Structure 1
Amino acid sequence: MDDTQLKQQIKQLIINECDKEDDFDWQDVQDAEPLFGGDSRIGMDSLDALQVSLALQQRYGVRIEGAKDGRRILASVDSIAAYIRQHP
């Protein structure tokens, strides 16, 4: 799978797991845009992060442990894709 396909799948997963289907299309999400915080259009919270983490584990077999690592890894689509690539 190439990087573009991986990022598309991640965007779709985030939109679905965060129940944002009515607010966003996966194509609206930019690769580098923040997923948390005041600058985030998606506005993920800790429950969203847990759901996304579990979905990533089920789909790609990657584990995200600890809040600090989770915040760093789940910061953007780019950072999630990089983490998946580093942990095949």
Structure 2
Amino acid sequence: MDDTLLKQELKQLLVRECDKEDDIDWQDILDDEPLFGRESRVQMDSLDALQLSLAVQQKYGVRIEGAKDGRRILVTIDALAAHIKASQ
């Protein structure tokens, strides 16, 4: 799968699964911006991380296990896309 298309799908998945439609448009999410923390415009929380992890597993067959891996993998769209590509 093309990197650009994968990242686009991930942004759309994040906005839909984490119910962020009222907060941010998927087109406005940068590939390298933080998804968590004070500097984040996306403002994901632990429940969002769980929902996104489950959606990624269903759509791409890639598991994100444990909080430690989740924090590392779900830090940016770039990191999430790289994990999916490496796991397939």
| TM-score clears 0.5 | yes
Helix, strand or coil for the counterpart of 2:12? helix
Q: Report the Cα offset of residue 55 of structure 1.
A: 0.1
Gaps of 5+ in 1: none
How far apart, in 2, do the equivalents of 1:69 and 1:22 lie?
A: 28
Q: Report the Cα offset of residue 17 of structure 1.
A: 1.2
**Structure 1 length normalisation: TM-score?**
0.97
Letter in 1 for 2:39: D
**Structure 2 length normalisation: TM-score?**
0.97
Letter in 2 for 1:80: L
Partner of 1:20: 20
Q: 1:12-56 CA deviation, whole Å, 9 max, x = no partner?
A: 001111111122111100000000111111111100000000000
Letter in 1 for 2:29: V
Partner of 1:6: 6
- CA RMSD across the alignment: 0.6
Q: Report the Cα offset of residue 84 of structure 1.
A: 0.3
Partner of 1:84: 84
Q: Percent identity?
A: 69
Of residues 15-24 and 63-72 in structure 1, the stretch that sits farther from structure 2 once superposed is: 15-24
Partner of 1:60: 60
